[in-house]
Amino acid sequence: MTRLLYPTTNLKVLEQLVIARGAGVYVWDHHGKQYLEGMAGLWCTALGYGNEELIEAATAQMRQLAYTHLFGGKSHQVAIDLAERLAAMVPIKDAHVFFGLSGSDANDTHWKLLRYYFNAIGQPARRKIIVRDRAYHGVTVASAAMTGLASNHAHFDLPFSALGIIRTDATHFYRQGLPGESEADFATRLAANLEQLILREGPETIAAFLAEPVSGAGGVVLPPNTYWEKVQAVLRRYNILLIADEVITGFGRTGHDFGATTYGIRPDMMTVAKALSSAYVPISAAIVRGEMYDALVEPSAKVGMFGHGYTYSGHPVGCAVALKALEIYERERTFEHAARVGAYFQRRLRTLADHPLVGEVRGVGLLAAVELVPNKSARSAFEGGRVGIFAQNCALEHGLILRNVAGSSLAICPPLIITEAQVDELVDKLGRALDGTLAFVDKEGLRVAA
């Protein structure tokens, strides 16, 4: 019996797949079976497995300086260099960077920074954060409260009200669009609902709006046309800060450097993690604009310190690997490759749209989801996650790792180094998994007649 308490797992269904090794876009289980890793781990191994440059960067840094911290004015060059590199990349004026270990702790850091900042500038009433339904922002206390998924809330008794968390609409046009409504009309309605929420709560009480450019764990839900343009106009009207959670969409996933570039988002703060180091070493960053950083300085001097930080903030090995990953992305034109192969990936996936179980294929770059439905014309949903889990497991049988999210949507997020031939392999295996799932659905009588 395992002694592990597994994360994000049905604790009655353990160790279904034990991964032993990986190379490129493939992994092998402990029985020697090969799988195409169609989820890049957890949306993160952008450069695939076994990248010798990343391994050497970690090894060399361990030999030179395995650990030191950033507390009390101490520093080290790789953390300084990585902060400078990120500040030059992100679409934030005079950016300053705080390092952590995960997207969860980076979003927790943003929650704390917002309180600190608005207290510092004399607007302590601005304590609320607007988040979206079906969002995912992490699992620490504040980030779990900002997440909009019921499974991450059940039994934890999270203090939503005390944390100042308020919610607005998800952006899934396929599910939430009204009859006859265009995507642009849907976006207008969502922006109007956001503005009404702001006015009800009081604009002077709201600190920020936190959102993913593309919702990931909530179903790989893309924003409708004109959404970000209209939402940003509302936020600017009431001087509400915008935090872009780029944990999944950052570093080439959407075919650009950031999802913010893809969708014309101008954030005040950003969260990055995952592909920052291609997941080889845990590292994250909470990034803020310069004027926010400036407001922290005098209050920290009065107290004697800025009282936030982790033992492993700016860990030298994590910073060294992240620097090497950014170097590889630039040298190998990885983002351009992701855009080019991503366009092919999206075209190939859409050949599955006519499958009897497929309600919607959606995605951008090398990020997508295939939503399974019992009735295509009615757009009804399968109850629970039974069908999606079966499809996920059927894909495993065919040597493909996917992830069932949001009920019955199969998320797909391969390493950015995937080739067109490997995309063909992925889509072929997914097609066979869909056929196997259709046989299961028909056997169980789960399809609904049109």
Last residue of a domain, one of 331, 346, 363: 331
The answer to whether residue 101 sits within a structural domain is yes
The answer to whether residue 43 sits within a structural domain is no
What tens digit of pLDDT does each residue of 105-130 get?
A: 999 999 999 999 999 999 999 999 99
pLDDT of residue 450: 55
Same domain, 224 and 112: yes
Beta strands in 204-289 (DSSP E): 206-211, 241-245, 269-272, 284-288
- Which residues constitute the domain of residue 185? 53-331
Last residue of a domain, one of 278, 301, 331: 331
The answer to whether residue 6 sits within a structural domain is no
Last residue of a domain, one of 315, 331, 347: 331
Reported confidence tier of residue 201, pLDDT bands at 50, 70, 90: very high
The answer to whether residue 33 sits within a structural domain is no
Same domain, 257 and 131: yes
Q: Is the pLDDT of residue 208 over 70?
A: yes
The answer to whether residue 44 sits within a structural domain is no
Beta strands in 59-205 (DSSP E): 96-100, 128-132, 165-168
What tens digit of pLDDT does each residue of 329-365 get?
A: 999 999 999 999 999 999 999 999 999 999 999 999 9
The answer to whether residue 18 sits within a structural domain is no
CATH of the domain at 382: 3.90.1150.10
- 137 conformational bin, left if phi > 0, alpha if psi -120 to 50, beta if neither: alpha
Domain count, the chain: 2
The answer to whether residue 214 sits within a structural domain is yes
Q: CB atoms < 10 A from the CB of 13, how many?
A: 9
Helical segments of 202-284, H only: 227-237, 259-263
- Within the chain, what is the greatest distance between any pair of CA atoms? 69
Same domain, 327 and 356: no
Reported confidence tier of residue 9, pLDDT bands at 50, 70, 90: confident
Tell me the mean pLDDT in the region 303-312: 96
Strand partners, 403: 411
Same domain, 91 and 162: yes
pLDDT of residue 1: 57
Same domain, 422 and 395: yes
Same domain, 117 and 188: yes
pLDDT of residue 7: 86
pLDDT of residue 316: 98
Q: Is the pLDDT of residue 449 over 70?
A: no
Q: Is the pLDDT of residue 12 over 90?
A: no
Q: Is the pLDDT of residue 6 over 70?
A: yes
The DSSP output letter for 274 is G
Q: What average pLDDT is seen over the chain?
A: 96
Report the Cα 274 to chain-centroid distance in Å.
Answer: 8
What tens digit of pLDDT does each residue of 118-174 get?
A: 999 999 999 999 999 999 999 999 999 999 999 999 999 999 999 999 999 999 999
pLDDT of residue 8: 84
Q: Is the pLDDT of residue 431 over 60?
A: yes
What tens digit of pLDDT does each residue of 363-387 get?
A: 999 999 999 999 998 888 998 889 9
CATH of the domain at 189: 3.40.640.10
Same domain, 322 and 337: no
Percent of the chain with pLDDT over 70: 99
Same domain, 415 and 392: yes
The answer to whether residue 180 sits within a structural domain is yes
Same domain, 319 and 361: no
What tens digit of pLDDT does each residue of 84-108 get?
A: 999 999 999 999 999 999 999 999 9
Give the Cα separation of 219 and 408 in Å (integer): 9
Same domain, 288 and 152: yes
Same domain, 313 and 339: no
Same domain, 285 and 192: yes
